[in-house]
């Protein structure tokens, strides 16, 4: 069964606690937390202090997505702020293998995120060390962008590699995901759907999460 990870970036920051409580009441398993530094991506979101407030108010798994340069400097502080999973960008470090080890040493689960242009083959030598691979289906930096359909091919490739090598990392898809494309994404082999605008900008976020959760279930039930 797939996992829903609403992205808090699309919440209303004037009433963050209310929006977190909405997620608490929903069927989502994760809270996806986008950290942007204005250098790795052309936008700045929030830092450890805000993440600490978010994690203390939230009863879901805290899935931190670091879109920052020099992530090795900040892994421990985001763990201390309540991150359960920490994903770093492969493009943001020259020592990815070491950094994955560093994340795991904090006790967090380790993820690596790939920009749309980065090949899944580039992770070949670290896949066994990973708990999740985040495939960016938009260029990171902003919520509300259009899903890049080329991502579907990358999901299939990664899912095939996983099966061939008998590995068990999860595949998370981040950017432009909603009710209109979730089925295709799941069919391609994804396990975790990050959904920002499609959840928070909908009339009833709890209901939208429920619908995202139900996608593909009818087929599942046949087996």
- The residues assigned a catalytic role are 34, 174
Q: Which of 65, 109, 162, 170 binds Zn ion (CB under 5 A)?
A: 65
Contact status: 182 vs ligand DX5 (CB under 6 A): no
- List the structure tokens of 67: 């879109």
Taking the complex as a whole, the smallest distance from the CB of residue 155 to ligand DX5 amounts, in Å, to 16
Q: Which is nearer to Zn ion, 120 or 132 (CB)?
A: 132
Give, for 157, the enclosing helix (H) or strand (E): helix 151-165
- Judged by CB under 5 A, the number of residues near Zn ion is 3
Q: Which of 4, 10, 126, 158 binds ligand DX5 (CB under 6 A)?
A: 10
Contact status: 196 vs ligand DX5 (CB under 6 A): yes
- List the structure tokens of 45: 């979101």
Contact status: 141 vs ligand DX5 (CB under 6 A): yes
Contact status: 172 vs Zn ion (CB under 5 A): no
CA dihedral 125, 127, 129, 133 (to 10 degrees): 130
Distance CA 201, CA 135 (A): 23
Q: Are 75 and 91 in contact (CB under 8 A)?
A: no
From 20-28, 89-97, 143-151, 210-218, span contacting ligand DX5 (CB under 6 A): 143-151
Q: By 3-state DSSP, what share of the chain in percent is helix, strand and coil, each rounded to 5?
A: 45, 20, 35
Q: How many CB atoms lie within 10 A of CB 134?
A: 28
- Judged by CB under 6 A, the number of residues near ligand DX5 is 22
Q: Which of 19, 23, 30, 34 binds Zn ion (CB under 5 A)?
A: 34
Contact residues toward Zn ion (CB under 5 A) are 34, 65, 174
């Amino acid at each position: 069964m797939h996992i829903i990870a609403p992205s808090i970036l699309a919440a209303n920051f004037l009433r963050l606690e209310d929006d977190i409580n909405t997620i608490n009441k929903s069927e989502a398993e994760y809270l996806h937390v986008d950290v942007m530094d204005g250098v790795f991506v052309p936008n700045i979101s929030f830092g450890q202090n805000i993440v600490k407030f978010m994690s203390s108010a939230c009863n879901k798994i805290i899935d931190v997505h670091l879109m920052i340069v020099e992530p090795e400097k900040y892994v421990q502080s985001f763990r201390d702020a309540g991150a359960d999973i920490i994903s770093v960008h492969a493009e943001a470090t020259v020592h990815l293998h070491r950094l994955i080890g560093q994340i795991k040493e904090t006790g967090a689960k380790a993820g690596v995120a790939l920009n749309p242009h980065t090949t899944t083959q580039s992770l070949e030598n670290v896949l066994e060390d990973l708990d999740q691979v985040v495939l960016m289906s938009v260029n990171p930096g902003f919520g509300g962008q259009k899903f890049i359909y080329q991502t579907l091919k990358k999901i299939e490739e990664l899912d095939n590699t996983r099966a061939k090598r008998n590995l068990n990392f999860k595949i998370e898809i981040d950017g432009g995901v909603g009710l209109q494309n979730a089925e295709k994404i799941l069919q391609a082999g994804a396990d975790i759907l990050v959904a920002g605008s499609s959840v928070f900008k909908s009339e009833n976020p709890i209901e939208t999460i429920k619908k995202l959760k139900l996608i593909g279930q009818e087929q599942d039930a046949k087996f």
